[in-house]
Structure 1
């Protein structure tokens, strides 16, 4: 437990993770800054110690890992502790090395993940970070009314996930485009940018298709050179306040012959610009990753099946990365 008075005086928050946990950390960074209005930064755990990081003992450090055994994350935890700061773990496996080393934090209770590629743990990591960010916000400047409104929307998310999974939309159409291509570009802006990275990671992990994930605004600084006729581009574009600028990137891609696989909220007119449009239930902007990630996971799963890959045991990968 963190005392409310300690939460209210935090100078900043650091979040550390690898792979899927890193993408959850990147979302957590945005949630902390949006709801608590406190500086936050996410770090790639495997690079953390290489830069001799400056550690403020008064700051809050969060280590995120599904297995709790990720060697790079555990090494970062020990480095932070060596420099005099506490670290809180956000892990799935009870009694794991990171949980024991931290000695404090939360379990996300996703249950065992049989597949190497993490899916439900990502959802629970983001959910835990959302709850923490809400608590942190309420200890600072977030009003009680706003906090209750966010909490109400959180409680609706599980049913919205079930609703989407019952009717996931034209996933197979998207898969048919993707498996005929040599590579896939994923784009997102704001809190959807880490979702694009997570979607690309899943497709690479189990379908073995080269993918590049980029913030939508960065596309014009290089990745647009990769687009040719019929190139599949997966765009995460909820109605989140930055959608207009994401739409500009979509038009740039379409002008160069790309096929747009668009993930958007139900009833949004932006669906018309997608060659394949996949609708998710609507929610508040900061909770959209819990829903927009679902189509990307299903696309990866069905692409892997179509290519006759072992979805649960992809080549060259291990469930717990226990070496640095």
Structure 2
């Protein structure tokens, strides 16, 4: 969950490295560091804190050089301190490495190195890597051979970039953590994610597990663990570099909330023709041999999977959703008639990848529903379907949730047509509503009263979110967004479960957000009255046509009336705005909430 970057050219690399680190800060912001090779040695600067603090330190120094690596950290082994910040070196400072992931056998490796006279200066697992390489260089190994031999000793997940004093190359490898090469005109790049170098080049090479890359100023080559050349295609990324910038907004999260209409148009574009769903990857008949569907996911993607489960179940398809870490630990029965869909924004979520691999080994068909072409999930699953939301930098997912759900609606339509029946009038109405969703979200954003309501109803004892049907996963998602960026207690519940325990938590200081879709109106109104009887204020989030619910609640946030299967997507936008404005009022670090990182690439 850290960010790695590297740059190698004929001119100074420092400024590009710092730009790349800033672009990667959503992956970790406990500490940051760079190492630059300048022909007379390797200069290292690192510190606890954000990249801006590293920049301030470097402003007083003259560290230039054509070859450099950088790192922004989200702590796993060792607290965020100057000493634990990357890059790390061996005893002689000749070998410098940065790392994302977890070296599971680092204790054994460290003890062995210490017994052979190596001295360590940090608490991290990463530090064993440069010591192992240094030991081999001292034994007479060439640089690349030393790197290969050292990584052969590592167990766990990792992405590694390394430079050696006097050597004109960056050495890199990955196993379970992402790395991508950026192919430029005047320099070449390496990073954990494409946005790091997107303003310098849009030509990329996605490395696969066990690839070893040697990158120089004017070339790169990729080999396997045996040293045999492997071919990895150069792809052109369609994202614009401006997509990864704030563009005048105070926070990436607010920008990405406002980008949802554009993201959804990209998601839907070319995939609906009249009353039919056209998925290029999945022509009619693709899923005729599927009997059941499992969704595996984490966090926001798990809530999108729950939404997909609700849709498929309603349409007569056997569907279940599983938290990916639990699915891997306690796998549900699968066979060749099971389609396991991994919902993952990044395509690199470690628990989701493990769950997909577990299902694949047991005979299931796997499908990655992701935002990132070339991601591990997209490459290792049997099939992939891309949500096409564009880059999302804010740690709290917003536009990717909307695009995930919209994509699941489209995929669900394909599944139901292949597995159960021909399209009905309701299917046609739903697709019409899906095509109108971008305009409806624009209306929500333009007319929202979320800023005023979040300020008025900020609770002291917590914030609850309730819903029925497809509003239940949105209630969970609304609570997750709120707790992620406000650091205040928030919980989502199925509305019918209130009287089975959660009602004991309701006080006058616990605002409750009741999400209505136009379905089950009387039951939800009854839940609202139960809450109000205990003195808690209720804010209804519902279509404008749900006047009875709005009149019953203390406040109302309205959304356009649309197909009931899609109303909850609009309600979710209101809840995103509630969380954002509450966090802004409380002066929280919205784009970089404490203890969290964007892409969870370790278990």
Q: TM-score range by the shorter chain?
A: over 0.9
Aligned to 2:552: 273
CA distance in 2, matches of 1:230, 1:108: 39
2:305 alignment partner, SS class: helix
Given that 2:302 and 2:322 are in contact with CA atoms closer than 8 Å, whether structure 1 keeps it comes out as yes
- Per-residue deviation, 1:177: 3.9
Counterpart residue number, 2:337 = 58
CA distance in structure 1 between the partners assigned to 2:422 and 2:568 by the alignment: 21
Q: Which residue of 2 aligns with 1:290?
A: 569
Report Cα offsets for 1:224-265 as digits up to 9, x if no partner. Answer: 00111242001101212x121111111000000010011011
Give the total of aligned pairs.
321
| One of 535, 560, 568 as aligned partner of 1:257 | 535
Q: 1:29 aligns with which of 309, 318, 323?
A: 309
1:237 aligns with 2:516: yes
Equivalent residues of 1:173, 1:276 under 8 A apart: no
- Distance between the aligned counterparts of 2:457 and 2:380, measured in 1? 42
Deviation at 1:178, TM superposition (A): 4.1
**Residue 322 of structure 1 aligns with which residue?**
601
Residues 14-39 of structure 1 show CA distances to partners (whole Å, capped at 9, x for unaligned) of: 1111000000000000111223x111
> Which structure's residues are more often helix, by fraction?
1
Instruction: Report the equivalent of 1:149.
Output: 429
- The structure with the largest strand share of the pair is 2
Match of 1:7 in 2: 287
TM-score normalised by structure 2 residue count: 0.52
CA contact (8 A) 1:108 1:124 kept: yes
d(CA) in 2 for partners of 1:26, 1:16: 9
1:103 deviation in Å?
4.5
Q: 1:142: how far off?
A: 4.1
What TM-score do the two structures reach when normalised by structure 1? Answer: 0.95
Distance 1:253 1:144 in 2: 39
| Contact 2:461-2:507 within 8 A present in 1 as well | no
How much does 1:5 deviate?
3.6
Q: CA deviation at 1:50?
A: 1.5
Q: Deviations over 1:246-297 (max 9, x none)?
A: 1111100000001001101113222111212000001111111221101100
User: Which of 422, 443, 454 pairs up with 1:175?
Assistant: 454
Gaps of 5+ in 1: none
Q: Which moved more, 1:269-278 or 1:298-307?
A: 269-278
Q: What is the alpha-carbon distance in structure 2 between the residues aligned to residue 121 and residue 7 of structure 1?
A: 25
Which residue number in structure 2 is paired with residue 70 of structure 1? 349
SS at structure 1 position matched to 2:470: helix
Q: Bigger radius of gyration, 1 or 2?
A: 2
Higher mean C-alpha deviation, range 261-270 or range 210-219: 261-270
Q: Secondary structure in 2 aligned to 1:53?
A: coil
Q: CA deviation at 1:305?
A: 0.4
Contact 1:138 1:144 in 2 (8 A): no
Deviates most, 19-28 or 259-268: 259-268
Q: Is the 8 A contact 1:57 1:84 kept in 2?
A: yes
Whole-Å separation in 2 of the counterparts to 1:180 and 1:256: 15
Tell me how far apart the structure 2 counterparts of residues 177 and 211 of structure 1 sit (CA, whole Å). 17
Q: CA deviation at 1:79?
A: 0.4
* Cα gap change, 1:7 to 1:143, in 2 (>3 Å): same
Cα deviations by residue, 1:142-185 (Å, 9 ceiling, x for unpaired): 435333222111111111111111111x2123212443423111
Residue of 239, 247, 257 corresponding to 2:525? 247
Aligned pair in 2 of structure 1 residues 25, 283: CA closer, same or farther (>3 Å)? same
User: Match for 1:205 among 473, 484, 501?
Assistant: 484
Range moving further from structure 2, 227-236 or 116-125: 227-236
Question: Can you list the C-alpha shifts for 1:280-324, whole angstroms capped at 9, x where unaligned?
Answer: 001111111221101100000001100101111111000000111
Q: What SS is found at the alignment partner of 2:600?
A: coil
Question: Following the alignment from structure 1 to structure 2, what is the Cα–Cα distance between the partners of residues 53 and 247?
Answer: 37
Deviation at 1:138, TM superposition (A): 2.4
Q: CA deviation at 1:12?
A: 0.8
Alpha carbons 1:179, 1:307 under 8 Å: kept: no
Query: Over aligned residue pairs, what C-alpha RMSD do you find?
Result: 1.4
Which has the bigger relative contact order, CA under 8 A and spacing at least 6?
1
One of 116, 121, 142 as aligned partner of 2:400: 121
Task: Name the CA distance, whole Å, in 1 between partners of 2:333 and 2:415.
Answer: 23
CA distance in 2, matches of 1:6, 1:159: 31
Specify the alignment match of 2:325 in structure 1. 46
Write out the 4+ residue segments of structure 1 that deviate beyond 6 Å after TM superposition.
none
